[in-house]
Structure 1
Amino acid sequence: MESVTNLIVGYALAVATQIVVFPWFGLHPSVGQNLAIGALFSAMSLLRSYALRRLFENWRRS
């Protein structure tokens, strides 16, 4: 439950941040594009968390 909540909150925060920050840099993606970019960043975050968890778990066992 914690991981799912973290993913949902992270996704919402990423999209909201993009909507505010991207225009500062002259980027004006549509809402759909912002949602897709947020999904990609969330997927990468999930993969990163999984990989680091496995790495530290392996170190702990050694």
Structure 2
Amino acid sequence: MIFKVLYQASRKEVPVRERTESLYVEAESVREARSKISDRDINIEYIQVLDEAHLEYEKSTGNFEVENV
């Protein structure tokens, strides 16, 4: 499954919607996705599993790239 991770660039930052960034991780569960990126200094806001329709939309935006972790 592909997960979309919404995060702030630093753990010290208060979440502000305008500064939220995203990345995509392939994993079997939310827990596995979280553990794969646990070494990064980011403040994870939300991890969302992408269904087929949402995945196709994300691919069509041109900003879709699955992280290799």
TM-score (norm 1): 0.29
- Structure having the higher helix fraction is 1
Larger-Rg structure: 1
Higher relative contact order (CA 8 A, sep 6+): 2
